[in-house]
Every structure is written in C-alpha cells, then in structure tokens.
Structure 1
Amino acid sequence: MMMTTRLMQPLMCKQKLPLLHIPSSGGIDLQILQRRPEKGKVVVVLGATGAGKSRLSIDLATRFTAEVVNSDKMQVYQGMDIVTNKITEEERNHVPHHLLGVIEPTKNFTATNFCSMASRTINSISGRGNLPVIAGGSNSFIEALVDDCRFKTMYDVMFLWVDVAMPVLHAFVSERVDRMVEQGMIEEARKMFDPKNADYSRGLRKAIGVGEFHRYFRAEPTANADTRARLLGEAIDAVKINTCQLACRQLEKIQRLRNVKGWKLHRVDATEVFRRRASGVAGDDAEELWENLVAEPSATIVTRFLHDFGPLIYADVTSIRPAVMGRAMVAATH
C-alpha cells in the first residue's frame, strides 16, 4: 500500500514513508500509520568486510522505496572494481546506488569530503520521497556524518549491524580473495603498479590488493618461474591476511560505537548462513536461511523505525523471529 505524503518544513527534505513491508505474520494496526515523522529517516547498514552489507541493503531496497549510498572509502573511486569488490550492476537489482566509482583514483577522499557529498545525496534521495540506506565498511565516514550537527537536526538514523563470527568470516574472506584472483584482480592491480613509485598511501593505491603485489610485479620481468610463483603466492596470502585484519579493525570500531559512544545498533547474526554455505548447503536452502535469519528480521525492524511502532528493540535481531516481531508491533499499537 502507498502512503500519502506531506511537505516538511522549508529546511527539511521532503520524504514520504516508503512502501510498508508487512511481515508474513501480518497483523498491523493501520491506524498507527497516520503518524508522521518530524525528521527524515535514514537507515545505516554496518558490518565487517564480507559480512553481507551490500546484499542486505539491496534486500531492504526491494522491500521499501530506497536508494543506497556507498560509504566504503575505496569503492568511491573509479576503477579497480574487482580489487575493491564493488557490487555489480546485476547484483544491484536496479536499485539506485550513489557515491560508487565517482572519484578519480589519484585523489584523496576524506571523511569531510564524504560528509559533504553524502549529505547532498541523502537530501536528494529524501527529496524524491525515497529512503536513504547507507552501506559500507568505512565506519569513520559514517561516524563523521552521523555526528554532524546539521545532519542530526534533519534526520533520525537507525543502525543495522550485520555480524558474522570472525573465524567463519575469515574463511569466507580467504575464499573470496581466491575468487577475485580468478576474476582478474592481479591484472587490475598491475594497472596501478609504478616501478619508480612505491607510495601506496594516496587515493585508490591505498586499497588492499594493490600494494601487496608490488614485489611480485617488480620481479616479474626477470625472475625465474619458481621465484615468480613464490612471490605471487606471498602477495595473495598478504591480501588475505590484510583483509582479515581489516575485518577485525572494523568489528572493533563497531563495538566502540556501540559500547563507548552509545550507538543503538540492531545486531543481525548471519554466522549460520555463512557456516551452512561453507558446508555445501544447496543454493536455495542458503537463500532461505538468509531470508529467515537476516533479511526478514531486518525488514521488520526497519518497518518499526519508519512507522514508529513503539520503542525499538535493541537486541540480537535474529533471535526474534518475524512472527514474534509481528506480534510485538501489534502490541506496540495498543
């Protein structure tokens, strides 16, 4: 069902309520939908690299009238789509994406730059009556935006944290690097190689998967086959190690945002989905598991947030089954 819209104050963006996602359990009191938010609404999807942030953002965008704003500091650059693991056109499922591949590779892109561009983008999305969904692993960018005073006055923010147990995520990340190599990661990284410049501290050259291949590329023209194979193996292993270390740092930052800064995060545990995939569970079964444990509970939480169904439940979202959440929403209306 579509919701009617109303103009917000002059300094506020126009934002209509997205299509209401009704859980499979049903049972929502429609009278509660007469309420309107005083601020615009923004959903932020957090998580370590590889945890499924992009996928969840797409799932939400297909349930609600939403557009995705990228907050990954490497994916904002043009090029290196495999190295930076950008979401493909097919994976986007026709959902509009912003701040993805828009910055020249040699330029530095700071948190200040992100806040400026993201704010304008979010205002534009809200002005079209759509829901902005921010997704990406650069938590420092998200923190800078959320802490911005003007942003605070204009938007209410809800946080979804897609979490995966680190040992399980590390195994997945290692396999993902192998797939990236098969897809052409080394050829992409070679384009950034400069034998006279080993500075990997600026622009897109900071991305994991670029500097790790420097020694291999330098030795490649003159080294024998055994040496090349060894250096290549070491480079790929370094990419895996550095990616896993990045995931650990991201998790530490998320925990700091929750425990020190007091951000109210809805944790969605996707560990079992990844574990079952690794054990060879059939594709359809794995998809159903993701739907039941991650997508549907997250959509229920977003529905509560968008339509003010009583106090939000800040807990392990996946421990609350959709049917239970549906009953909780009904109870919140009485």
Structure 2
Amino acid sequence: MKLSVPVSKQVIDPSLDVPTNNNHLHLHAPPKEKVVVVIGATGTGKSRLSIDLATRFPAEIINSDKMQAYRGLDITTNKITDEESCGVPHHLLGIIDPESDFSAASFRAMASVSLQSILSRGRLPIIAGGSNSFIEALIDANFRSKYDCCFLWVDVAMPVLDSFVSNRVDKMVERGMVDEVRDFFKPNADYTKGIRRAIGVPEFDLFFQVESFSDEETRARILAEAIDKIKMNNSKLARRQLEKIHRLRNMKGWKMHRLDATAVFRKRSAEAELAWEELVAGPGAAVVRRFLYNLEPVVFGGRKVLRHRVPLMAAASH
C-alpha cells in the first residue's frame, strides 16, 4: 500500500544520509505550499518525468497542455494512455468540449481549483505540459505569493529532437492518426478554434477534401505532403516553446533546473532507459527531494550528504 505523506510537512526521506548530531539544525515549517512545474519543448519527455516523479512522491499531475485538455483526438494530441499514467491521477486532461475555446484565463481558474484540491489531500501538485503561455499566465497571477515553485526543464538538442518528433509522427500515423482525424473532419471547419487548432488536424484538410474522388497516386502524394507538414509544424512548435522557456528564464528570472535528455534520445531500448534514470529521472527526483524537504548538499565525512537548510539568523544565534 502506498502511504501518502503531506508534502508541506518537514519530513526527512529515510533514504537520505542526514547527519543528526548537528546542533545548529532548526526545523521550520515552510511558509508556502510547494508546487513542482515541469516544462520543455514538445517531445522532450515532460509527461514521462512528471509520472516518474509522481510515483516517487505522493503527487498528482495537472495537465497544462492546451490541446490535451480537450476531449478526443487522443493519438493526434499525444495524450498519455492509462497504462502510461501508472495510476497517477491527472487533472485537466481530456475534459474540455472540443468545440469550445480553452483560454489561458480558463486554465488559470481551473488549475487553481485542482491545485487546492490536491494540496487539501496532503499531496504534491505537479504541473506539466507544453503550453508555456498557460503556465506563464498561472505563475504571473499572484501565484508566487501563495506557492513555492520548483521548475524542472527537460531539454533536448534541437537536431536530435527534430529526428525524434519526425519518428513520433510516423508512429502516430501507424496507430491510426489519419482515421482519428477523419472521423473528426468537417468541410469548411474553423481551424482557429477549439481542438481543431491542434497540429495534425488542419494539415489533413486537403487530403480529406479530395480523397473520395482522387486516384491512388494523388491520394498518396497529398497524404505524404500532409504528414511532412505535420512534422515541420511540430519542429516549429518546439522552437517556439524553447524560445519561450529562454525568455521566462532570462527575462522573467524563473530559476529552472535544466535536465539535459539529449543522450537519452541517442540511445535505444535498455540503454535509453538507464540513461533516462541517470540523466533525467534521478536528478529530477533529487531536485524535488531537496525542494520538498528543505535540504541542501554538504560535504560530511568526506562524502556529499543532505541536511536541512539552516536560516542565517538561527545559525548566527549560536
């Protein structure tokens, strides 16, 4: 049975090597509730990391990907499957009417309700998704006066990410993406509203318009062009997202813990799994552990261990 540990309490993880004979240790309850935010460009592994963290800490995930918030088009919007979720509760995932507009203001209001609900159960909210404008709207709305935030940035070198995103689109097509979008197709649809804005929907419009009366060669050519356009638009999206992350870090001063997953994407199978743990999941969990339990790395007995941070005034009083 999995025990739920309220993250707002000062609880030392028993797996940590923490010296107990330090007379200067003073435990202070954190003044704010704590929230973890996982960001990164499309395809970098944000969802995977958020689930990894939620299986190591008592946590629930709030989706901040605007297209994944809509109902339907699960393959096209790359929603995680029930199996991939590992039983971790997800909020704001596949709940919005696909014909409606889901604005940053709507996300801010709904995410705030979900966040309070998670905290009321003594669990850690993890906000994860690629819509950085949504996250920015939430954080800018007096958020930091109420919550202490830890930002994890999963990063992948762009040439490597381009290749992965291209292959991912091919796999989505193999899983039935074309049929999924066809079932959603409407002639003269408005691709500026609702879920139809998602990459992978407007690109197929011409194909669906002509497939019923075109010859096989023409259909194949138009379909291939649509798929290539989806790949190109995903790569453009990744670059816009990366630019936004740099702006949030450099201009707004968001302190981000960068986790470089590039080497993971260059490996296969078991080697990739080991690299993910070593380069992303393990370091990410260590950052969150220090964040939750107010720990800092120190050298003790010739090796690095973790201890509670000591407020300067408290340390100076001894």
Q: Same fold (TM over 0.5)?
A: yes
Structure 2 CA distance for aligned equivalents of residues 19 and 95 of structure 1: 22
Do the aligned partners of residues 93 and 33 (structure 1) sit closer, same or farther apart at CA in structure 2, a change above 3 Å counting?
Answer: farther
How far did 1:34 drift?
A: 3.8
> Are positions 1:231 and 2:222 aligned together?
yes
The two structures have a TM-score, normalised by structure 1, of 0.85
Structure 2 CA distance for aligned equivalents of residues 84 and 21 of structure 1: 37
- The match for 2:171 among 171, 174, 179 is 179
> Are positions 1:41 and 2:31 aligned together?
no
Do the aligned partners of residues 259 and 292 (structure 1) sit closer, same or farther apart at CA in structure 2, a change above 3 Å counting?
Answer: same
Structure with greater strand share of residues: 2
How far did 1:327 drift?
A: 1.7
The two structures have a TM-score, normalised by structure 2, of 0.89
Structure 1 CA distance for aligned equivalents of residues 195 and 5 of structure 2: 44
Paired letter, 2:40: G
Aligned partners of 2:8 and 2:292 also within 8 Å: no
Aligned to 2:63: 70
Structure 1 CA distance for aligned equivalents of residues 229 and 145 of structure 2: 43
How far did 1:20 drift?
A: 5.7
> Are positions 1:288 and 2:274 aligned together?
yes
Secondary structure of 1:284's aligned partner: helix
Structure 2 CA distance for aligned equivalents of residues 191 and 18 of structure 1: 51
- The match for 1:194 among 186, 196, 213 is 186
Do the aligned partners of residues 206 and 332 (structure 1) sit closer, same or farther apart at CA in structure 2, a change above 3 Å counting?
Answer: same
Structure 2 CA distance for aligned equivalents of residues 20 and 191 of structure 1: 52
Aligned to 1:265: 256
Identical aligned residues as a percent: 56
Aligned partners of 1:3 and 1:18 also within 8 Å: no
Aligned partners of 2:10 and 2:293 also within 8 Å: no
Paired letter, 2:274: E
Structure 2 CA distance for aligned equivalents of residues 258 and 236 of structure 1: 33
Structure 2, gaps ≥5 residues long: 298-302
How far did 1:52 drift?
A: 0.3
Do the aligned partners of residues 272 and 265 (structure 1) sit closer, same or farther apart at CA in structure 2, a change above 3 Å counting?
Answer: same
- The match for 2:131 among 132, 135, 138 is 138
Secondary structure of 1:44's aligned partner: strand
1:206-221 alignment, distance < 5 Å: 206-221=197-212
> Are positions 1:27 and 2:17 aligned together?
yes
Structure 1, gaps ≥5 residues long: 6-14, 278-282, 312-325
Secondary structure of 1:45's aligned partner: strand
Secondary structure of 2:65's aligned partner: coil
Structure 1 CA distance for aligned equivalents of residues 69 and 120 of structure 2: 23
Structure 1 CA distance for aligned equivalents of residues 277 and 11 of structure 2: 19
